[in-house]
Amino acid sequence: MSNWNRVFKPIVVLCAICIVITGALAATNAATAPVILEATIKAQNEARNELLPEAGGAFSKVDGVKVDSVSDVYAADNGTGYVITSNAKGYGGTITVMSAFTPDGTLKQIKVTEAQETPGFGSKVAATPSYWERYKGKDAGKALVLNQDIDAETGATISSKALLRAVNSAIEAYNAIP
């Protein structure tokens, strides 16, 4: 048997397969990326409208606020408040939180928009609006403290701390708005 059939032919075939698969993946990504981006933007806008319905759906992005773990700061065009998106590392992954603030410096409400926490325990914090209610009405003038301002969820302390860190990053960003 020649070296071509034994050594080089399998290498060429595998390289050709890799090139075809890579091209297919790139084409799929190019076709789906705009759709995924549009769906993400729509979901974020819906979440902002849910958190601050008084804004009437009109928000403007606020630039110049540089706080670790904060990805977006939006102000309601009619002056009814701000919605800040932040994240923190939890037990199972990153928790992404949107926090709504009133103009007088009160935390109106929060919503976890993305989380990969452990089903059962960590998901109590990430997926339970009744837990999020604990943040409602808190003063945004200072960082919140676990088990002093906000009670941790039993069995989900790491997730509770992550959610608190994300909200505290949002509070820091709110206080840094020019």
Task: Provide the 3-class DSSP secondary structure of residue 109.
Answer: strand
Dist CA 153 CA 149 (whole Å): 13
Query: 43-58: string of b/e by CB count within 10 Å (b at 16+)?
Result: ebeebbbebbeebeee
Predicted model pTM:
0.82
pLDDT 10s digits, 108-118: 999 999 888 77
DSSP state for residue 54 in the 8-state scheme: G
Dist CA 108 CA 140 (whole Å): 10
pLDDT 10s digits, 121-139: 677 777 778 888 899 999 9
Dist CA 125 CA 101 (whole Å): 20
- pLDDT score, position 126: 74
